[in-house]
Structure 1
Amino acid sequence: MSKVLIVSDSHGLTEELSAIKARHQISNLIHCGDSELDFNTDELEGFYKVRGNCDMDSMFPNEEVITIDGLTFFVTHGHLYNVKMNLMKLSYRAEEVGANVICFGHTHIAGAEKIDRQLFINPGSIRLPRNRPEPTYAVMEWETVQSISVQFYTVDGQLVQDMNFQGSL
């Protein structure tokens, strides 16, 4: 079983990031930007990380393309792709780089949605959630592209019962 932990929009939180990492013990970690931390800070160690509109450290890349156990992920914050309007630019860019899983933040709205053969995951925000009362992050698991699940958790580790994705690519 392959797993990826996905967080975004932590906006300066450090103890919470460390607690989430320790809780899940997952080696594949993604931060979708707006950490507001230095690129090399201890709390972001082990994360694939990208630059959000509130990140000042120029060492953050605007995007990352990574392959984990047969799936290619496109990771970006989202502000450069107008994700508050729609996901079209994000979809086109993911197609250009050959990614079928797209991880992004910026809107602070948690959700997972499959459109055609692309899976879009926004883990929400562990600091300032929108459209939900609880701060969230996500864990994606898969054995094959036919069996993918995305579970959302509150910042303190409780499973969000009414939010999950089960499906295939």
Structure 2
Amino acid sequence: MKILVMSDTHGDAQVIQHVRTLHSDVDAVFHCGDSELTSDHEVLKGIHIVQGNCDWGEAFPEEKVIEVEGSRIYITHGHLFNVKNTLMPLKYRAEEKNADVVLFGHSHLLGAEMDNGVLFLNPGSLKQPRGRNEKSYAIIQRKSDNWQVQFYSDEGILLEDINL
């Protein structure tokens, strides 16, 4: 399984298209909210996307569970779970959803960690990064006994390669 994860693109349809073009070989594409695009925007076709705090209306759901090659992936923006301060509410929700992977955004800080066998991942922001200078997104691959998480810059340059 290989998936592309992005978040917090804040109206930049071109960067979404650019990143999708760089990684056209993925099994699924996820956007963790704050796209600030309409639900019928061409660039969002085929993307699993959720509502962020800067997305207006009710076009996108607040959360989703998608199964990809036997892995249950839970996606939410994070603002409803106070992710800028703690991951505990999100961890409880992941447990309720029986998730193997949790994808979220909102803080614009990239990061990945395993907690009780669950991968938690924030791809950072492709528009307004925080914590480091590079705009970022992630590629996740399921290996036989672990997860490979690769963070890339908006230009497709590898920033970090982590095995969890």
TM-score, normalised relative to structure 1: 0.93
Q: Deviations over 1:74-112 (max 9, x none)?
A: 100000000011000001001101102100000000011
Gaps of 5+ in 1: none
Instruction: Tell me the residue number matched to 2:19.
Output: 20
Distance 1:3 1:27 in 2: 5
Distance 2:2 2:71 in 1: 11
- The one-letter code matched in structure 1 to 2:95 is E
- Aligned partners of 1:113 and 1:165 also within 8 Å: no
- The one-letter code matched in structure 1 to 2:156 is G
Distance 2:153 2:82 in 1: 26
Distance 2:90 2:74 in 1: 9
Residue identity (%) = 43
Distance 2:68 2:36 in 1: 26
Distance 1:99 1:147 in 2: 15
Distance 2:146 2:53 in 1: 34
1:46-57 pair list within 5 angstroms: 46-57=46-57
Instruction: Tell me the residue number matched to 2:132.
Output: 132
- The one-letter code matched in structure 2 to 1:164 is D
Over aligned residues, Cα RMSD in angstroms? 0.9
Instruction: Tell me the residue number matched to 2:147.
Output: 148
Structure 1 position 164 matched with structure 2 position 147: no
Cα drift, residue 117 of structure 1: 1.3
Cα drift, residue 36 of structure 1: 0.3
Instruction: Tell me the residue number matched to 1:7.
Output: 6
Distance 2:104 2:143 in 1: 23
SS of the residue corresponding to residue 153 of structure 1 reads strand
1:19-168 pair list within 5 angstroms: 19-25=18-24, 26-144=26-144, 146-160=145-159, 163-167=160-164
Distance 2:98 2:27 in 1: 23
Instruction: State the 4+ residue runs in structure 1 displaced beyond 4 angstroms.
Output: none
SS of the residue corresponding to residue 92 of structure 2 reads helix
